[in-house]
A and B are shown apart, each in its own frame.
Chain A
Amino acid sequence: MTLLAFAPVAVPALAAVVHALFGWRRATGWVGTASAALVLASAVALAASVVDRPFTVGPLLRVDAVSAFMLVLIGAIALLTAVATPAHLATEMSAGRASARTAGRMGVLVQLFLAAMALAVLAADLGVLWVAVEATTIVTAFLVGLRRSTAAVEAAWKYVVICSAGIALALLGLVVLNFAAQETGTGAGLDWAALVAAGPQLDPGVTRIAVVLLVVGFGAKAGLAPLHAWLPDAHSQAPAPVSALMSGVLLSVAFYALLRIRAVADLALGPGFMRALLVAAALASLAIAASLLIAQRDHKRMLAYSSIEHMGLLALGAAAGGTAATAAVLLHALGHGLVKAVLFLGAGRLLQLAGTSRIDGVRGLAARQPVLAGCLGLGVLALVGLPPFSIFASELGIARAGFTGGIGWATAVALVLVVVIAAALLGHLSRMLLGPPPDLLPATALPRSTAVALVGGLLAAAALGIGAGPVAVLIDAAAAVLDGAR
């Protein structure tokens, strides 16, 4: 069991070493895929054993249903992106936009990124979680700036400055929370379980300061307004597989921290305080996404703003509270991650074909690239919440919880914004997919591995929507852990 808990961190770390030693070759191209598959396998094995029985590994790691669920999310989306990565890099290299050296460097950094995210969700302690989340900033900064163009350097600079400043505020928050925990005299430090146990004794005045700082800090990393400005730049400049991971997984990992913090905050301050913060962040994020999506001209930025929208919906669900709402939030994070990975991988392929990320630079995709166009079309339909995809079920769950959970007016405003966003996305997409094809778009076939990743992601999202099966058991157990406080 102990070994199994270390695997999600150790396997990607080893894969990073392999890439560092051997660079990017035909043989090492699939190391990343193997590593992601092993992370997913160990996540599933852990999930099967911890649904009702969390266990601790040393003083720093703990596996419960929530961390197992987050590991499944990380593993599944990492596998999708890893399957599509070799074909993506092969095209980049044959077009002269990447060398074997940059490909090797990307291999190392992506694996370190995975290891840091796995460590973040396995951490028993808020301090270790903080260190892991900040490590993801450092690793991904180089991935965002991999291309060394002016735009990529600009995106990387904004990303590091905003996320590091945000996460520095979170560090101040955890320092203050540590003080509050110490003064309870229970010996609780920053360990999640100890914090929940000591929750009712935490000094409300001091805890309030800590919670505000933690929400702003981890909210910045999760792409929630007002510190969301880095997200569209970073997501549009990073290589497609990295954008897929950042949007599909990293945002959810940061949001996971907010869910754990909410459990402690509700015990110390009552549910009202965290709810007010989350509702404000949710509505601000949705409003920003809606206003900037309507006139969006870049399809990768369009997907990035859609990520801000979905983080806003997660915040709304978390504000509603209750086990059903938290379960819907977790399902939403998984569904969004799968679909957004498909869309970013597809958009990356589109960028390689069309040579531009401008929406008006792409016309008549359906006629020239039916598989890619079909996957992008279905992906956007899934994203705006059409059945059978799981986002339909989770958005319904979040809306229902919002109306019954005492934030009806906010939920109503959010739903209006979601409809506006859906209209904007469908409008932009139909202009890209439909119409007569221009001559310049080549009719080259989609690489088989990319097609597998795109279709696989959509099938997984649809399967989750039709019947979540064993995942539902895990999600319910995780929601019960996160809402045990209420």
Chain B
Amino acid sequence: MDVVLLDLAVGALLLTAVLMLWRRELSVIIGLYTVQGAALAAVVALLAVQERSVELAVAAAGVLVLRAGVLPAVLRRALAAAGSERRVTRPLVNVTASLLAAAVLTTLALAVSQPIVDLAPSPATRAAPVGVAVVLIGFFVLVTRRRALSQIIGFLLMDNGITAVAFLTTAGIGLVVEAGVALDVLLVVVVLQVLTGRMRTLFGRTDLDELRELRD
């Protein structure tokens, strides 16, 4: 039963990532990101139950607060500040091609991370390649979206994928490092948000196409 629940939660991770490629309204994408954060917290909570580990339970609560609470709130504030700007992403690659790319990236992730499954086959490690797929999809979002906010979401998607792999393969990477990683992610998002604000002041909008002054 536990395995079914774990697979469902991990499946939700991948599904939300793919849906983010499909939908174009930023508010919907932020909603999907919130659901993904909750799914990630559920994965960690299920592992905590399985291992009967208090530390993992604490980590699950931390993941829930940060990735389904604080970070989506920061994103929503940034979106509200965008004001009259059209609140849709403008992908360089159209939706059909994006979804195909997601399929290719997921296959690639499954193939490349086979050694991870082979080393210690268990329900959790069998699910780890899905985390790798989410990382690759996040990277894809980062390089194909031209709106500043959607690039931030690409980065956060990568981070969710990495966290999933960390918890599915091992019981995390130590509390000090995990706290440091969480703080780093939060700060990166804040830095990018500050820069987005400056961009809006300077250019009037946050199309990254405006960034073309520096080149050789």
Is the pairing of A and B real? yes
- Using a CB–CB cutoff of 8 Å, the interface residues on chain A facing chain B are 60, 125, 127-128, 130-131, 134-135, 137-138, 141-142, 145, 148-151, 153-158, 160-161, 164-165, 168-169, 171-172, 174-176, 178-180, 182-183, 189-190, 203, 205-206, 208-209, 232-233, 236-237, 292, 295-296, 301
B contact residues around A145 at 8 Å (CB): 195, 198
Query: Does A161 lie within 8 Å of B155, measured CB to CB?
Result: yes
- The digit string for B124-166, where 1 denotes a CB below 8 A from any CB of A, is 0000000010010001001000001001000100110110011
Query: Does A127 lie within 8 Å of B158, measured CB to CB?
Result: no
Query: Does B115 lie within 8 Å of A296, measured CB to CB?
Result: no
Selected from A137, A190, A205, the residue in CB contact (under 8 A) with B118 is A205
Selected from A60, A130, A151, A168, the residue in CB contact (under 8 A) with B213 is A151
* B113, CB-defined interface residue at 8 Å: yes
CA of A209 to CA of B115, assembled, Å: 9
What is the CB-to-nearest-CB distance from A134 to chain B, in angstroms, rounded to a whole number?
A: 4
CA of A130 to CA of B212, assembled, Å: 31
- B165, B177, B213: which has the most chain A beta carbons within 10 Å? B177
Provided the pairs A157-B148, A296-B216 are in contact, do residues A176 and B165 lie with their beta carbons within 8 angstroms?
A: yes
B contact residues around A172 at 8 Å (CB): 132, 135, 161-162, 165
What is the CB-to-nearest-CB distance from A191 to chain B, in angstroms, rounded to a whole number?
A: 10
Question: Which B residue's beta carbon lies closest to that of A173?
Answer: B162
* B97, CB-defined interface residue at 8 Å: no
CB contacts under 8 Å to A, within B158-216, are 158-159, 161-162, 165-166, 169-170, 173-174, 176-177, 180-181, 184, 187-188, 191-192, 195, 198-199, 202-203, 208, 210-214, 216
B contact residues around A134 at 8 Å (CB): 184, 188
A contact residues around B166 at 8 Å (CB): 175, 178
- A128, A168, A205, A206: which has the most chain B beta carbons within 10 Å? A168
Closest 4 CB pairs of A and B: A205-B115, A127-B177, A131-B180, A179-B169
Query: Does B162 lie within 8 Å of A171, measured CB to CB?
Result: yes
- A135, A141, A179: which has the most chain B beta carbons within 10 Å? A179
Q: A153-B198, A172-B165 provided; 5 other pairs, C-beta below 8 A? A: A60-B176, A156-B195, A165-B139, A178-B166, A203-B115
Question: Which A residue's beta carbon lies closest to that of B186?
Answer: A138
CA of A180 to CA of B120, assembled, Å: 10
* B119, CB-defined interface residue at 8 Å: yes
Question: Which A residue's beta carbon lies closest to that of B206?
Answer: A157
Query: Does A160 lie within 8 Å of B195, measured CB to CB?
Result: yes
Query: Does A155 lie within 8 Å of B214, measured CB to CB?
Result: yes
* B116, CB-defined interface residue at 8 Å: yes
CA of A88 to CA of B211, assembled, Å: 28
19 sample A-B contacts, Cβ–Cβ < 8 Å, listed by A number: A127-B180, A131-B180, A145-B198, A151-B214, A153-B202, A154-B213, A154-B214, A157-B208, A158-B211, A168-B162, A174-B173, A175-B173, A178-B173, A180-B119, A205-B115, A205-B118, A209-B112, A233-B214, A237-B214
Question: Which B residue's beta carbon lies closest to that of A125?
Answer: B177
Query: Does B195 lie within 8 Å of A232, measured CB to CB?
Result: no
Query: Does B199 lie within 8 Å of A138, measured CB to CB?
Result: no
Provided the pairs A154-B214, A209-B112 are in contact, do residues A128 and B176 lie with their beta carbons within 8 angstroms?
A: yes
Selected from A127, A137, A160, A236, the residue in CB contact (under 8 A) with B214 is A236
Query: Does B216 lie within 8 Å of A301, measured CB to CB?
Result: yes
Question: Which B residue's beta carbon lies closest to that of A135?
Answer: B184
B contact residues around A176 at 8 Å (CB): 116, 165, 169
CA of A179 to CA of B208, assembled, Å: 38
Provided the pairs A125-B177, A150-B202, A175-B173 are in contact, do residues A157 and B162 lie with their beta carbons within 8 angstroms?
A: no
Query: Does B151 lie within 8 Å of A179, measured CB to CB?
Result: no
Selected from A148, A160, A208, the residue in CB contact (under 8 A) with B198 is A148
A contact residues around B198 at 8 Å (CB): 145, 148, 153
What is the CB-to-nearest-CB distance from A354 to chain B, in angstroms, rounded to a whole number?
A: 19
Selected from B170, B213, B216, the residue in CB contact (under 8 A) with A232 is B216
CA of A129 to CA of B109, assembled, Å: 27
CA of A156 to CA of B187, assembled, Å: 14
B contact residues around A203 at 8 Å (CB): 115, 119
Provided the pairs A127-B173, A127-B174, A179-B170 are in contact, do residues A160 and B191 lie with their beta carbons within 8 angstroms?
A: yes
A contact residues around B192 at 8 Å (CB): 157, 160-161
CA of A127 to CA of B149, assembled, Å: 28
B contact residues around A180 at 8 Å (CB): 119
B contact residues around A160 at 8 Å (CB): 188, 191-192, 195
What is the CB-to-nearest-CB distance from A156 to chain B, in angstroms, rounded to a whole number?
A: 6
B contact residues around A138 at 8 Å (CB): 184, 187-188, 191
